[in-house]
Amino acid sequence: MSGHLPVMLKEVVAALSPRDGGHYVDGTFGGGGYARAILEAADCRVLGIDRDPEAIARGQALVAHFAGRLTLVEGEFSRMDQFTEKSDGVVLDLGVSSFQFDTPARGFSFREEGPLDMRMSLSGESAADLVNTAPERDLSNIIAHYGEEKNARRIARAITAARPIATTTALAKIVSDAQGPQALRLAIHPATRTFQALRIRVNDELGELERGLEAALNILAPKGRLAVVSFHSLEDRIVKQFLARHSETRARASRHAPEARGDAAALKLLSKSPLTPSADEIHNNPRSRSAKLRFAERLAA
């Protein structure tokens, strides 16, 4: 199971506070790092979910190691409430698995040539389908919204002019060239935001997150913990707003009807501000540098 470093592992396990006899959900199983740590922290059970069939296949060694305590399911974490009725803790790591990122054939990275794929589930519309068929305006909107890229219109124009585009490196060059030589002075590669945008759109990552948070709330038992590690502002905003919305009175009383009561809060925030990786972790795992961990506890109904 080597090759993937789970971000803020100690902090996530501390946030979940696993207990003997508990049942936990690792909604983004990936390399199995969180699941293993939870199982080692307490005599408990873990349900691991991943929509990547390769992750499920790799995880069978861990299933055998923790005989009877780890169960893996291939599917979206947004459907976790269809896979289990109750959990004492849910963890979601919203980053791309290193296995996905470091495998050129999966098409997530432009560092090495590979097909324009980016599908976490290996099914459905690929990045190549999107890049080669979407209208220029739609591409521009996708790149601007999901990538927060200020040069989105220029990039979309260059992409549509260069069609068909088949590989990651070809797309990266088109995107870089569209931004001119000044883009080379950026702190990140000029194609980073465009690739992020396409990946998010192909996998409906933000919609999956919104549905997954609701599903987690549905299955959390009283005092159950929810821990979410996000890696960019769009994800973190959704998590922050969800936790805030469910940790406050949802319908405040009007000043004209002070006796009216709103719906009770469902969650208690355990940290007002997100936790971030230590300097040592960022040094050892640069991919962790943008991570934020937010967590909360389920209140009694």
Helix, strand or coil for residue 261?
coil
Residues 6+ apart with CB under 8 A from 88: 18, 19, 22, 23, 24, 44, 220, 221, 223, 224, 225
The residue assigned the tokens 């979206």 is 76
Helix, strand or coil for residue 46?
strand
User: What is the DSSP secondary-structure string of 208-248?
Assistant: HHHHHHHHHHHHEEEEEEEEEEE-SHHHHHHHHHHHHHHSS
Instruction: Give me the amino acid identity at 221.
Output: A
Rounded to 5 degrees, what are φ and ψ at 226? -115, 125
Q: Do 120 and 200 touch, CB atoms closer than 8 A?
A: no
Cα 176–chain centre separation: 26
Picking from 51-60, 102-111, 194-203, 261-270, which range would have the lowest pLDDT averaged per residue?
261-270
- Nearest of 184, 282, 274 to residue 233 by alpha carbon: 274
CB atoms within 10 A of CB 163: 11
Asked if pLDDT for residue 256 goes beyond 80, the answer is no
Asked if pLDDT for residue 249 goes beyond 80, the answer is no
Burial of 201 (0-12, 13-18, 19+ CB in 10 A): buried
Rounded to 5 degrees, what are φ and ψ at 23? -130, 125
pLDDT for 4: 66
Q: Do 146 and 197 touch, CB atoms closer than 8 A?
A: yes
Which band of pLDDT confidence, cut at 50, 70 and 90, is reported for residue 248?
A: confident
The residue assigned the tokens 């936990």 is 24
The rounded distance, in Å, linking the Cα atoms of 93 and 30 is 9
Residue-wise pLDDT tens digits, 163-205: 999 999 999 999 999 998 877 777 789 999 999 999 999 999 9
Asked if pLDDT for residue 255 goes beyond 60, the answer is no
Domains of the chain, start order:
9-93+205-298 (3.40.50.150), 109-203 (1.10.150.170)
Sheet holding 87-93, edge to edge: 70-74, 45-50, 23-26, 87-93, 220-230, 292-298, 267-269
The residue assigned the tokens 């945008």 is 197
Residue-wise pLDDT tens digits, 32-75: 999 999 999 999 999 999 999 999 999 999 999 999 999 999 99
The rounded distance, in Å, linking the Cα atoms of 81 and 214 is 9
Asked if pLDDT for residue 124 goes beyond 90, the answer is yes
Asked if pLDDT for residue 293 goes beyond 90, the answer is yes
Q: Tell how strand 267-269 and strand 292-298 pair up.
A: antiparallel
Which band of pLDDT confidence, cut at 50, 70 and 90, is reported for residue 3?
A: low
Residue-wise pLDDT tens digits, 8-17: 999 999 999 9
